[in-house]
Amino acid sequence: MQQTQKVLIVDDNEHNVAILELILEEYILETAANGNDALAVAHRFRPDLILLDVMMPGMSGYEVCRTLRDDKTFTNTKIIMVSAKAMTAERVKGYEMGADDYITKPFDEDELLAKVRVYLRLKSLEEVAKMKNDLLSLLSHELNTPLNQILPALELLQDDDDMNVAERRQWLDIIRSGVTGLEALFDRIMTLNQLKSGTSTFECDVVDICEIMRGEIHALTMEADKRDIHLIDRLPGATHCSVDIQYINRVFAAVLDNAIRYSPEGSDVLVELEPNGSTVTLLIADDGPGIDPELIPAISDGFAVTDVSHHSSGHGLSLAIANEIMIAHNGHMEWQLPPDGGTTVAISIPASVGTD
């Protein structure tokens, strides 16, 4: 099975980095040479574990660790601090800053690898337990609406023998709607579970992502028109990336649908593209009320129900699925809150060919 766990190595010494890359070659690796780079890479890469050097220019490893621990995005990320300082006080400081463990240089390769494996397994077990709890909470929340449609309709059909055909058909349509909603809900839950557990299969091809996004714009134009939302296409002629077409369609559809849902009537939703070296970023901007920054991690989680409005009819699951798909494509999805209001979702994908 292909390894999917990610490790971020943070060290300003190139020789140390090279040694760690050899020891940890079975994992997906990224590196950073200083604290600021470490924070930037961590937000893009979303590592499962970080090997964090203590002594670095600028921000120390302790400062980086504290900053990561203050960010809910990295609540479950395991952090092992690496330092030449072996004093108890240094270890205690590392733990106080939020580190999970502390290893001293020169380290034993077998010990380091063993610790990495233990903490990665621990993270997986913690995530499974959290996923189960969140799933139960989500189901108790999400099942109410379809069941409130289905059960009363069934009782009426059962109790009223004199109901005419037209009325029966209306109540059966309500039941069908509820069952369809349940089917869609369980499909989203299963998809998100597969993505989070790394069991999804991706078949990537080099395709024009502008064409794919234009297809989603066309598909959602009728829905936008109902609320007088104007979908403005400012995409270039063509831009190519290696993606799984079916999955990337889900990303674009979820984000564009979200923009339409929360835009005020008569407003615009702008879709444009921003090439940036090896990365292509699609920007979907709306004039809606924006979102509380504290709730963004809950939206990306999907199984959490903190933000009830975004989880109506399982919609939050679609956004969480989109987030996981982007991570699987070595890209990422970022929620930006412009100072003049609204929300911009930035979907960043590694470029393959470039812009025509």
Q: What is the pLDDT of residue 315?
A: 55
Residue 172 has what pLDDT?
Answer: 92
The tokens for 184 are 């869609």
- CA–CA distance, 38 with 51 (Å, rounded to integer): 10
In sequence order, what are the residues at sequence separation of 6 or more whose Cβ sits closer than 8 angstroms to the Cβ of residue 79? 49, 50, 52, 65, 68, 69, 98, 99, 100
Determine the pLDDT at residue 306: 46
**First and final CA of the chain: distance in angstroms?**
37
pLDDT in tens, 99-146: 999 998 888 889 999 999 999 989 888 877 777 777 777 777 777 778
Which pLDDT score is estimated for 298?
67
What local confidence, expressed as pLDDT, does residue 91 receive?
85
Relative to beta strand 101-104, strand 6-10 is unpaired
For residue 241, which of 138, 150, 348 has the smallest C-alpha distance? Answer: 348
Residue 167 Cα distances to 117, 147, 155, 157, angstroms: 62, 20, 14, 9
SS3 assignment for 86-145: CCHHHHHHHHHCCCCEEEECCCCHHHHHHHHHHHHHHHHHHHHHHHHHHHHHHHHHHCHH
**Domains of the chain and CATH, by start:** 6-126 (3.40.50.2300), 143-197 (no CATH), 205-355 (3.30.565.10)
Q: Is the peptide bond before 106 cis (omega within 30 degrees of 0)?
A: yes
CA of 293: how far to CAs of 46, 77, 143, 290, in Å? 18, 20, 27, 9
Instruction: Note the pLDDT of residue 327.
Output: 85
Q: What Å distances lie between residue 70 and 63, 134, 173, 266, 323, CA to CA?
A: 11, 22, 49, 39, 21
Closest by CA position to 188, among listed 314, 44, 293: 314
State residue 160's pLDDT score.
85
CB neighbour class for 123 (10 Å; exposed up to 12, middle 13-18, buried from 19):
middle
> Which strand (E) or helix (H) includes residue 310?
none
How far apart (Å, rounded) are the C-alpha atoms in residues 168 and 157?
Answer: 7
Q: What is the mean pLDDT of each run of 10 residues along the chain (356 residues)?
A: 77 93 92 94 90 91 94 90 83 92 88 93 81 72 80 88 88 90 85 81 92 95 94 92 94 94 93 85 90 71 49 65 88 86 90 53
